[in-house]
Amino acid sequence: MRIGIVCYPTFGGSGVVATELGIALAQKGHTVHFITYDRPVRLRDVEGRVFYHEVRVSDYPLFDYPPYELVLTSKLVDVAEHEGLDLIHVHYAIPHASAAWMAQRILHSRGLDIPFITTLHGTDITLVGRDPSFEPVITFSIERSNGVTAVSESLKQDTYAHFPVKRDIRVIPNFVCVDQYPSAPDPALRQRYAPNGEKLLVHISNFRPVKRVEDVVHVFRKVREHMPARLLMIGDGPERQRVENLCRQMKTCNDILFLGKITRPEDVLGSCDLFVLTSESESFGLAALEAMACSVPVVSTDTGGTPEVNIHGVSGLLSPVGDTDAMAANALEILKDGTSIARYRKGAWEQAQRFDVHNVLPRYEALYAEVLEAIKA
């Protein structure tokens, strides 16, 4: 199959999943064309079957706002026609699904009928989508997609709750290539970040308000009252400065390290003892799954799709949003002794296996086959 993938090329989970999906499809022999405004950060070639087409918006003085959706639409038409795409898969409802619909109509007028699939990732529905000004476009493009997937059952239900959408939405969860994650800590990294045998906590996010990153610092402070510990903060975003200021006020700077954006977070994750995710809302929590794939247990909030990924008492522990006392108690419960740590590490790794690419990819391929069949009929 020749598949076009549209995604945000950044460190966000939707871009990471879209990129890994394209790579996994190419590994199975499909040809994959990424169409986006920048090269996806995790993109790599697979035997000449992965291509990248940049959507470049020129800066016309006439426009107050750059017309990205229109340029994306034209690029989709161009790539579909000239690369002979069989199908387009867009990640994130806006503006990708509406651009795909417009491209589909243009292609139809030129005698080509190409289906498009929309994968809903979370903030397109739970945050951005709740802005009433987007509602008509999101509802329309979900209804008109040839196939729609959501990354969790919770996100599927949120979509029905927030939009007057009637059509079927298929849950296909996010995935990881479990083999690509380290199976044991790296002694050199442990020595660098926890030189005195401290427990190593880690958080990864885009530091947006929805992540409640300050709560991570409060959880860490409470854990450190009971055991020697250090915290690694990975990622960057609008809240980072505020969180760094909080660390300075609390005089915890020596034990909290801000590593910024990292292309291969698994290199660090694999050497940590506990992943902390304090989000207010989270459709899935890909970063938590990546931690679990490295056998790192998770202390998280019980919001959105997180409980579908982090199983309470197995891969980690869950507690209500904002309850940093409960999250710290959960962290201490997991880290209390070697037996508990080993049990949760095993539970985390086993739970990650359920989301291995080998289990999830066939579900996308089956959907592709179904929509291609339906468009021919």
In the stretch 116-155, what mask flags binding to ligand GMT with x, by CB under 6 A? -----xxx--x------------------------x----
Using CB under 6 A as the binding rule, whether residue 14 contacts ligand GMT is answered as yes
Give the amino acid at 292: M
We find the least distance from the C-beta atom of residue 254 to ligand GMT, in angstroms, to be 29
Using CB under 6 A as the binding rule, whether residue 9 contacts ligand GMT is answered as no
Q: Which residue, 13 or 347, has its beta carbon nearer to ligand GMT?
A: 13
We find the least distance from the C-beta atom of residue 321 to ligand GMT, in angstroms, to be 12
> Which H or E run includes 306?
helix 306-309
| Residue environment code for 332-362, b if the CB has 16+ CB neighbours within 10 A, otherwise e | bebbeeeeebeebbebbbebbebbebeebbe
DSSP, residue by residue, 164-177: ---S--EE----B-
Q: How far is CA 293 from CA 8, 25, 375, in A?
A: 24, 20, 37
Using CB under 6 A as the binding rule, whether residue 17 contacts ligand GMT is answered as yes
Residue span binding ligand GMT (CB under 6 A) among the ranges 22-30, 82-90, 202-210, 259-267:
202-210
Closest CA to 309 of 279, 337, 329: 279
Q: Which residue, 40 or 347, has its beta carbon nearer to ligand GMT?
A: 40
**Residue 148: partners with Cβ closer than 8 Å, 6 or more residues away:** 117, 118, 119, 120, 142, 167, 168, 169, 170
In the stretch 53-92, what mask flags binding to ligand GMT with x, by CB under 6 A? ---------------------------------------x
Residue 111 backbone zone (phi > 0: left; psi -120 to 50: alpha; other: beta): left
> Which H or E run includes 366?
helix 357-376
Bridge partner residues of 149 (DSSP): 119, 170
Using CB under 6 A as the binding rule, whether residue 115 contacts ligand GMT is answered as no
Residue span binding ligand GMT (CB under 6 A) among the ranges 6-14, 60-68, 323-331, 348-356:
6-14
We find the least distance from the C-beta atom of residue 310 to ligand GMT, in angstroms, to be 12
Residues 319-348 that bind ligand GMT (CB under 6 A): none
Using CB under 6 A as the binding rule, whether residue 212 contacts ligand GMT is answered as no
C-alpha 112/C-alpha 357 separation (Å) is 32
Give the residues lining the site for ligand GMT (CB under 6 A).
12-15, 17, 92, 121-123, 126, 151, 174, 206, 208, 210, 281-286
